Amino acid sequence: MSAPTRGSLASALRKMQSPDKDYRYMACSDLLGEISRESFGTFPSSEQEREAMVAVTRCVFDASADVAGLAMKCCASIAKRAAGETCEELCEELCKALSGKDGGRRDAASMCLKTIVMDIGTFDEESRTAMLGACAPALAALVEKGGRDGATGEEANVAAEAVDVVHAIATALSTAPHVRLTQETSDELQRTLLGHIERGKTGTRKRAAQCVALLSTYAKDDALDRTVETVSTSLEESIASKGKSDLYAFTLGAVARAVGYRFGEHAERVTLILLRVCKSATDDYDEEAIVNIESALRAIESIVSSCSSSTQGSEGTAARIAVALKYVSHDPNFDDDEAMDTDGHDATGDDDDEDEYSEDDDYDEDDDDESWKVRRAAAKVLSSVMSTAPESTLTEHYDDVMSKLLSRSRDREPSVQLDIFSVIGDVIHVTRRCLEHNPDSKLGAKLRASATDVVRVIVRESTSKNQKTQIAAYTLLRSLGDVFPGLLAEVRDTEARDSVVRAVERCISDQAYGTAARIEALAFICSICKPEGFDALEPYVHGLLPHIYTACADKYYKIVAESLRSCAALVFVLRREDAGMVPADNVTEIKSLLDAVLSKLDSSDEDQDVKEAAIHVCAVILAKLNDLITTQDQSRVLGLLLERSRNETTRLAAVRAFAMIAGSSSAVDLSAVAASVTGEFTTFLRKSNKALRESSLAALTALVSCHSAALQDPDVLPVVTESSSLLNEEDLHLATMSAGLLSAIAAAASSFPKAALSMATTTLPLALALTRSPLVQRQTLKSLQELYKSLVLADVVTFKPLLDALSDTSGIQSVDSQFVAHSLAKCVASACVASGEAVTKETTDTLLAKLKDAKGIDAVYTLLCIGEIGRLTDVSLNKELETILFSAFDSYGDDVKGAAALTLGRVAVGNREKYLPLITSKLANENIEHQYSLLQALREVIVVGNLNEQEANEVMAILDRTASSEEEGVRNVVSECLGRLTASNPKVLMPEIANRFAASASALEKATHISAVKFAVLASAKGELTKIRGDLRLPEFMSAISDEDVNVRTAVIKMISAVIHRESALIVPILPDILPKLLAQTAIVTELVKVYDLGAFKHTVDDGFECRKSAFECVNTILDSCAGLVNARDVVSAITSGLGDHYDIKMLAHATMLKLSEGIASNSTDAVLANLDSFCAPLEKTLTARVKSDAVQQEIDRNNDLLRSVLRTVRSINRHASSTNVASWKKFNEDIVVGKENIAEMYSQLENDE
- Quote the distance between the C-alpha of residue 251 and its chain's center: 34
Backbone phi, then psi, for 1162, in 5-degree steps? -60, 125
For residue range 1183-1236, list pLDDT tens digits in order: 998 888 888 888 888 999 999 999 999 999 988 877 876 778 888 888 888 888
Contacts of range 808-812, beta carbons closer than 8 Å, 24 or more positions apart: 809/857, 809/858, 809/861, 811/772, 812/772, 812/857
pTM of the predicted model, to two decimals? 0.79
With contact defined as beta carbons under 8 Å apart, do 595 and 612 qualify?
Answer: no
The whole-number pLDDT of residue 579 equals 64
Q: How far apart are CA 866 and CA 777, in angstroms?
A: 21
Q: Which of 861, 766, 871 is nearest to 822 (CA)?
A: 861
For residue range 140-175, list pLDDT tens digits in order: 888 888 777 777 888 888 888 888 888 888 888 777
The whole-number pLDDT of residue 344 equals 42
Q: How far apart are CA 549 and CA 545, in angstroms?
A: 6
Q: Which of 143, 130, 142, 43 is nearest to 90 (CA)?
A: 130
Residue count of the chain:
1250
Q: How far apart are CA 1019 and CA 1022, in angstroms?
A: 9
Cβ count near 196 (within 10 Å): 28
Q: List helix spans (H) across 962-1033.
A: 968-984, 986-999, 1003-1019, 1029-1032
The whole-number pLDDT of residue 1190 equals 81
DSSP class of residue 808 equals -
Q: How far apart are CA 290 and CA 294, in angstroms?
A: 6
Q: Is the dihedral angle over the CA atoms 1179, 1183, 1186, 1190 positive or is it negative?
A: positive
- Beta-strand relationship, 1098-1102 and 1089-1093: antiparallel
With contact defined as beta carbons under 8 Å apart, do 53 and 89 qualify?
Answer: yes
Q: Give the residues of the chain that fall short of pLDDT 50.
A: 1-4, 337-366
The whole-number pLDDT of residue 925 equals 76
- Whole-number percent of the chain with pLDDT over 90: 30
Q: Which of 122, 116, 119 is nearest to 135 (CA)?
A: 116
Backbone phi, then psi, for 124, in 5-degree steps? -75, 165
CA distances from 708 to 620, 623, 745 (A): 22, 18, 9
